[in-house]
Amino acid sequence: MTSVILAIAILTAAGLPVARWLEPSLGWRARIGVAFMAGSGSATLLMLLASLTGIRWSLAVVVIGLALVAIATIPISLRAPANDRAPLRAHPLAFVADAATLLSVAGYALFATVARPWEWDFWAIWGLKAKEFFIARGVSFEFLGRPDNVFSHPDYPPLVPLVYDVVAMIEGKWDDRWMGAITVAFAVAMLLVMREELERQCGSALVGALGTLAISGAACCAWVGLGEGPLVALASSGLLIMSRGLRENSARAIVAGSVLLGLSGLAKNEGVSFVVAAIVVTLVFERHRWKLVALPAAATVAPWLAARLAIAATTDVFEGGFAARAAERLSDPIGFVSTLAGGMFERPELWLILALLVALHPAAAKRERFLLGVVVLQALSYVAVYAGTLNDLASHVQSSLGRVSSHLAPLAVVVAVLAIGELLRHHVEVEVEGKDESGHEI
Amino acid sequence: MLLFAALVGFGLRPFYVTFLFSDREAWGRHLEQFPDRRAPGYVELLREAGARIPPGARVAIVFPTLDWSRGYSYAYYRAQYLLAGRVVVPLSWFDRARPERLSEAEYVVVYRSAPPAGRWLILVRNADGAVARRSR
């Protein structure tokens, strides 16, 4: 357990200057959350580049590499303008909501670490790769390229296995007993970002605290040890910061969001489709900002995409006649939709609430058109994958719909909370406008 | 406000809060054994194999079934994970059994099955099976 705690502390410390450099106006909570994510991303890119250049991993290589990144970032992070936002007034109920979130996260932390990660995909994909890479002291392209390993998905990005390898290098051997703590760390990092950003974007500590409590269930990913938790944390945090940047015309926030979104592409392939969705929606609504949205994310994920091309790792669902399969399935739209509907959606109630909010308050929802647009495009990309999947549709839906819908559930809650925050702010402004200076109604 | 209350209510996972007060030792035991619940003794046999098979060696797994979706995929991936650093040769694939690939293996882990044909030197044997090296 000491090794995993030390790994989380090292990654967070290494990411602190990067987080401050990326977005200096982040409050302390979001900065810690972004720092862990940025530290994980830095370690991933360092270890990937070391493997590509033939440098054998060791604890010294990783720690010195991270220290160099941090030291190089400190001067430019200190030059960035400081956070001069006035703190919001605390609300007693916000403390209660925060305490409830803390309680829920504490329970989740105990659950996720009660045993070594037990999911099939941990020991057949994420943990397997981490263990093989640790033994090889590098990303083993020989392992990834072996035809017998096709089911361990050589095309899956490396962030999660490589963060496990940081733990293993600190431990000095492979021991998966406490690896579930990494999933918890990503959930906590995400909730710290959510707490800060929702408070900031809604202008209310209470809405921020209650909104974070509402997101906690979706952030604390039930698939312990897999890529889902880190993907959800990185993509949701990146998109929320990016949407503020687009709304407030803040280039730093857009870039910071874009980097986190790029890191989500290093966690799971679905992160790359999040990047594409964000670029497309920006081209539609904020055309002049598209480069800020696209370039940092593309630069972040590019080293892995290049390595992937080099080993010719393809994604199985897209193999051999994807378009023909999609056309055939979509020629029976009722059958296709009813098969999708037969799957287990993650938290359908949250989607119903979001739909109600959009229907009842289109103006508040319109303000969040960027996030809503990304959610819709990402959902459509999943539908397209199901339409063209190489696998039997029903079994593919049964085995994955819960997980892929969990990618979008936190964003549904975020959009709903932001819309509610806007409505409440509007409601308060109307009330204030209805009183004279002495507070009497006019 | 009603929608906000509903959002918070449905957003929470009560399971995590109740988990604080549950029997965590029992949960731990259950989840530790969860992946291998249908193949008792298999993990222990693989651990024995891990102590005897050198890194880089090619190992085949002989399992009671060669049906990929009815157990062999589990046997194969579990062996890959627990014998990481060795090359596990699958004797079955999703489309059909491939017992002929046994010829590629230098070592074999036999779990609750008849030993394969050929000359093998038993390295360890227990109630659930054996680990053997090809004898030249």
CA A198 distance to own-chain centroid = 16
Residue A288 has pLDDT above 60, yes or no: yes
Instruction: Give strand pairing partners of A83.
Output: none
Judge contact between A70 and A14, C-beta under 8 A.
yes
Asked if B8 and A210 come within 8 Å (Cβ–Cβ), the reply is yes
User: Is residue B135 less than 8 Å (CB to CB) from chain A?
Assistant: no
Tell which residue, A424, A441, A429, has the closest CA to residue A206: A424
DSSP-derived secondary structure for A267-289: H-HHHHHHHHHHHHHHHHH-GGG
Angle in degrees, 0-180, between the axes of helices A2-22 and A251-267, rounded to the nearest 10: 150
Tell which residue, B61, B59, B65, B69, has the closest CA to residue B95: B69
Judge contact between A182 and A11, C-beta under 8 A.
no
Judge contact between A303 and A52, C-beta under 8 A.
yes
User: Is residue B4 less than 8 Å (CB to CB) from chain A?
Assistant: yes
d(CA A143, CA A138): 11
d(CA B75, CA B68): 9
Q: What percentage of chain B reaches a pLDDT higher than 70?
A: 100
Angle in degrees, 0-180, between the axes of helices B72-82 and A127-136, rounded to the nearest 10: 40
Confidence class for position A229, pLDDT limits 50, 70, 90: very high
How high is the pLDDT of residue A395?
A: 87
A361: buried, middle or exposed (CB in 10 Å: 19+, 13-18, 0-12)?
middle
Count of positions (residues) in chain A: 442
Tell which residue, B31, B21, B72, has the closest CA to residue A116: B31
User: Is residue A364 less than 8 Å (CB to CB) from chain B?
Assistant: no
B6 contacts in chain A (CB < 8 Å):
349, 353
- The interface residues of chain A toward chain B in range 161-200, judged by CB-CB distance below 8 A, are 174
B32 contacts in chain A (CB < 8 Å):
115-116, 118
Among B13, B76, B88, most A C-beta atoms within 10 A, so best to mutate, is B13
In angstroms, the separation between the Cα of residue A107 and the nearest Cα of chain B is 5
Of the candidates A108, A115, A135, which has its C-beta nearest B84's C-beta? Answer: A135
User: Is residue B56 less than 8 Å (CB to CB) from chain A?
Assistant: no
End-to-end CA, chain A: 63
d(CA A312, CA B113): 38
Residue A436 has pLDDT above 70, yes or no: no
pTM exceeds 0.90: yes
Instruction: Give strand pairing partners of B4.
Output: none
Asked if A213 and B12 come within 8 Å (Cβ–Cβ), the reply is yes
CA atoms within 13 A on the CB side of A160: 34
Judge contact between A390 and A360, C-beta under 8 A.
no
B49-108: pLDDT as tens digits? 999 999 999 999 999 999 998 999 999 999 999 999 999 999 999 888 999 999 999 999
CA dihedral angle for residue A26, residue A180, residue A58, residue B54, rounded to 10 degrees:
-160
Asked if B20 and A105 come within 8 Å (Cβ–Cβ), the reply is no
User: Is residue B23 less than 8 Å (CB to CB) from chain A?
Assistant: no
B3 contacts in chain A (CB < 8 Å):
353, 356-357, 416, 420
Q: How far is CA A252 from CA A36, A237, B37, in A?
A: 18, 14, 51
Tell which residue, A370, A365, A351, has the closest CA to residue A408: A351
For CA atoms A203, A206, A210, A216, the dihedral sign is: positive
End-to-end CA, chain B: 78
Confidence class for position A434, pLDDT limits 50, 70, 90: low
User: Is residue B122 less than 8 Å (CB to CB) from chain A?
Assistant: no
User: In A8-32, which positions are buried (b, 16+ CB within 10 angstroms) versus exposed (e)?
Assistant: bebbbebbbbbbbbbbbbbbebbbb
How high is the pLDDT of residue A431?
A: 62
User: Is residue B91 less than 8 Å (CB to CB) from chain A?
Assistant: no
d(CA A253, CA A242): 6
In angstroms, the separation between the Cα of residue B133 and the nearest Cα of chain A is 22
Asked if A353 and B7 come within 8 Å (Cβ–Cβ), the reply is yes
Average pLDDT, chain B: 93
DSSP SS3 for B60? strand
User: Is residue A81 less than 8 Å (CB to CB) from chain B?
Assistant: no
How high is the pLDDT of residue A88?
A: 74
User: Is residue B88 less than 8 Å (CB to CB) from chain A?
Assistant: yes
Asked if B3 and A356 come within 8 Å (Cβ–Cβ), the reply is yes
Asked if A135 and B34 come within 8 Å (Cβ–Cβ), the reply is no
A-to-B residue pairs, Cβ atoms closer than 8 angstroms = 121
Nearest C-alpha in B relative to A352: B7
User: Is residue B73 less than 8 Å (CB to CB) from chain A?
Assistant: yes
Average pLDDT, chain A: 91
User: Is residue A426 less than 8 Å (CB to CB) from chain B?
Assistant: no
Confidence class for position A437, pLDDT limits 50, 70, 90: very low
B24 contacts in chain A (CB < 8 Å):
110, 114
Strands B87-89 and B107-111: unpaired
Tell which residue, B132, B59, B69, has the closest CA to residue B97: B69
Residue with tokens 């021991």: A175
User: Is residue A123 less than 8 Å (CB to CB) from chain B?
Assistant: yes
How high is the pLDDT of residue A83?
A: 66
How high is the pLDDT of residue A433?
A: 62
Q: What percentage of chain A reaches a pLDDT higher than 90?
A: 67
Among B1, B8, B27, most A C-beta atoms within 10 A, so best to mutate, is B8
Judge contact between B104 and A146, C-beta under 8 A.
no
A120-136: pLDDT as tens digits? 999 999 999 999 999 99
The predicted complex's ipTM stands at 0.94
Phi, psi of A330 (to 5 degrees): -75, -10
Tell which residue, A227, A318, A240, has the closest CA to residue A278: A240
Of the candidates A104, A106, A116, which has its C-beta nearest B13's C-beta? Answer: A104
Q: Across the beta sheet with B129-134, what order do the strands follow?
A: B87-89, B58-62, B107-111, B129-134, B120-126
Residue A118 has pLDDT above 90, yes or no: yes
Asked if A151 and B55 come within 8 Å (Cβ–Cβ), the reply is no
